[in-house]
Structures are given as C-alpha cells and as structure tokens.
C-alpha cells in the first residue's frame, strides 16, 4: 500500500478508503487503511472465480454466503417483479446479482473448485446457504477433495413462508477442510459465546436456536443490503476458524486471511475486521463494495455516518 501510494497508484476517496484500481465512481479494487492498522483489508469488483483464481497467498478461511439461486434475489420475484417480503425497496441497496435456479449446480461446482485451490492445507471453506442448496455445496466440495467437518443448522428469526410445505426456518452452514479432519494444521476455537457443558468444558453444538445469532435487519429508515446475515452469525464462524495473530507456537505470525468472494453487504468483512484478521472480499455488484466500505469505516473511523464513498449517495445510518 505504501509503495502504491508513493507511485501515485492509490487514490484516497474517504478517510481510510483507497482506490487501487479503477476510478472513485467505479472502483475495481479498494483497500481500507484505518484504525491504525495497515494489514490487508481489500475489496475487489470481480466474480468469485476471478477473485479466487487471482489470489497471491492462500486463504486460511473462505467464509461466504453465495446467492441462493431461488429466484427471489433482492426480495422481488424474477418472473413477475412482485415484492415478496414487503420491504421498502427504496432503502435496499441495488444491483444484487442472483444466479438462475437451473444454473445453481454448475455455478456452485465452479466457484467451490476455485475455493478449494485457494485454501492453505488445513484451511476451511465455510458456506452459508438455505437448506435447499446445502447438498450441492457439500457434493461440489467433496468432488474436489475437501473433507467434511460439520453441517450446522442455525435458526432464522423470519422463516421463509410457503403454502404447501414446512416454512424454511434455518440456514445451513457447510464446513469443509483442505486435508484431514484431525490434521494439526486445522484451527478450531469453540466460539466464546456458545453455552458450555455443565462441567464448564467447551461443548459447542451444531444447532444454534432461532434468534440466537440475532437478526440482520436495519432499523426502520436505514439503508440495508439484501439477504445480509446477522453480524453475530458471521462473527462466531470467524472466531471458530481463525487466529488473529502470533501465539507461542507461531511467533511473528501474521493474522489469518479470511476471504469472502460474495461479500454483499460486508457482514463477514466486518466480523473479520472486528476479530483483527486480514480480509479479501469480492462481488460483481459495485454497490456491494461501496456499502461494505461505508459499513466498516463507519464502525471504525467515526461514530457519525460518513458520506458515501466511491461516488454513491450517502449511506448513513447503517446498522451493524
């Protein structure tokens, strides 16, 4: 970053926000340098496969929430344009890219293969989906040699209502690892906010009850990104599978690198920043990059909402 700045190749557009490639109006690569931290925190306008194929160091954790491919996208039906969740769409960030339901399987195979190649030995791929799609993720990951670790069920505050079957009331988290399950290269820290066994020992369950991770919805009147996750949900997973810095057995080690190739509204980005690990995110929606910058910098630089970076209208009043 220092070199790019000296060479005039990085342009500061906000406190802490530097455009490394592209223009402030259409940034292709953005770095955040804030809160006295100069370690890697970068966002790129790229498809998931492009981002994962172009990585210059292996990831410790790829934690992501790809588009669901259920034909609902940003809350409007693709076929009729009808609103399905009764939201105020003027307050929802535009440009969310979904994947056609019929292409979901091939789409999943290609980005999961790219993710497997981008992991270090012992690194984790953790994918959040609805229950309908989790099987495709696990099959695609096993097909490219990743090892099954866990499948968590996490209760949603708002079940997806359907008339002719049970309402979908949980997310699935598919956890896969590069290498053997009992490899010492794997990291697993039972999240500190999960209940313990009566003896006081960690006994982290794979079933997180409805409401346990909170909800993502913005307060009335606030701008929100479609299908964003609750921050506690992302934070627990980042804590479980990362090391924030050096330790007795890793003197001088850098914080782990977390990658989210479908960054959306930046919940994983924010969780990574709060944990003190490095982060690389990508999305095909330029508004996702702008929203994520605004969300993270607002949290760290100034408690008062910043004007919108990168030429977007002000994105003030974001919730966590």
Ligand X SMILES: C[S@@+](CC[C@H](N)C(=O)[O-])C[C@H]1O[C@@H](n2cnc3c(N)ncnc32)[C@H](O)[C@@H]1O
Contact residues for ligand X (CB under 6 A)? 47-48, 65-67, 96-97, 99, 225, 227-229, 261-262, 264-265, 267-268, 282-285, 288
Cβ at position 65, least distance to ligand X in Å = 4
Cβ at position 135, least distance to ligand X in Å = 18
CB neighbour class for 256 (10 Å; exposed up to 12, middle 13-18, buried from 19): buried
Cβ at position 300, least distance to ligand X in Å = 18
Q: Which is nearer to ligand X, 186 or 232 (CB)?
A: 232
Q: Which is nearer to ligand X, 257 or 268 (CB)?
A: 268
For residues 300 and 37, is the Cβ–Cβ distance under 8 A? no
Cβ at position 34, least distance to ligand X in Å = 20
Cβ at position 252, least distance to ligand X in Å = 32
For residues 253 and 243, is the Cβ–Cβ distance under 8 A? yes
Q: Which is nearer to ligand X, 186 or 262 (CB)?
A: 262
Closest CA to 15 of 29, 28, 34: 34
Helix (H, G, I), strand (E, B) or coil at 123: strand
Cβ at position 123, least distance to ligand X in Å = 19
Cα distance between residue 161 and residue 276, in whole Å: 38
Q: Which is nearer to ligand X, 16 or 66 (CB)?
A: 66
Cα distance between residue 127 and residue 206, in whole Å: 14
Q: Name the residue with tokens 């910058």.
A: 293
Q: Record the tokens describing residue 86, joined without a space.
A: 């009764």
Alpha helices in the chain (DSSP H): 2-6, 48-53, 104-118, 134-143, 231-241, 267-275, 286-300
Cα distance between residue 145 and residue 157, in whole Å: 34
Q: Which is nearer to ligand X, 10 or 46 (CB)?
A: 46
Are β-strands 41-45 and 278-283 bridged in parallel, bridged antiparallel, or unpaired?
A: parallel
Q: Which is nearer to ligand X, 44 or 186 (CB)?
A: 44
Cβ at position 121, least distance to ligand X in Å = 25
- Closest residue to bound ligand X by CB: 264
Q: Which is nearer to ligand X, 186 or 275 (CB)?
A: 275
């Amino acid at each position: 970053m220092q070199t790019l700045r000296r060479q005039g190749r990085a342009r500061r557009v906000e406190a802490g926000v530097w455009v490394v490639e592209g223009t402030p109006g259409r940034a292709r690569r953005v770095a955040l340098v804030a809160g006295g931290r100069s370690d890697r925190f970068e966002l790129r306008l790229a498809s998931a496969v492009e981002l994962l194929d172009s990585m210059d160091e292996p990831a410790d954790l790829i934690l992501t929430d790809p588009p669901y491919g259920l034909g609902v996208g940003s809350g409007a039906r693709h076929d009729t344009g009808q609103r399905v969740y009764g939201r105020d769409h003027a307050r929802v960030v535009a440009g969310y890219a979904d994947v056609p339901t019929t292409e979901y399987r091939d789409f999943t195979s290609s980005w999961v293969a790219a993710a497997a190649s981008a992991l270090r030995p012992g690194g984790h791929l953790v994918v959040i989906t609805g229950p309908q799609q989790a099987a495709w993720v696990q099959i695609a990951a096993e097909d490219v040699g990743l090892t099954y670790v866990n499948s968590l069920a996490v209760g949603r505050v708002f079940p997806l209502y359907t008339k002719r079957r049970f309402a979908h009331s949980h997310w699935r988290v598919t956890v896969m690892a590069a290498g053997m399950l009992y490899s010492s290269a794997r990291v697993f820290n039972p999240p500190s906010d999960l209940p313990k066994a009566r003896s006081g020992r960690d006994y982290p369950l794979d079933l997180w009850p409805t409401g346990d991770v909170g909800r993502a919805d913005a307060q009335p009147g606030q701008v929100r990104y479609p299908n964003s996750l609750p921050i506690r949900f992302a934070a627990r997973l980042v804590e479980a599978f990362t090391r924030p810095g050096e330790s007795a057995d890793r003197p001088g080690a850098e914080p782990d690198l977390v990658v989210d190739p479908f960054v959306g509204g930046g919940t994983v980005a924010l969780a990574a920043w709060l944990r003190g690990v490095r982060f690389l995110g990508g999305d095909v929606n330029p508004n996702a990059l702008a929203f994520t910058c605004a969300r993270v910098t607002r949290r760290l630089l100034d408690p008062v909402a910043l004007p919108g970076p990168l030429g977007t209208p002000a994105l003030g009043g974001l919730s966590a």
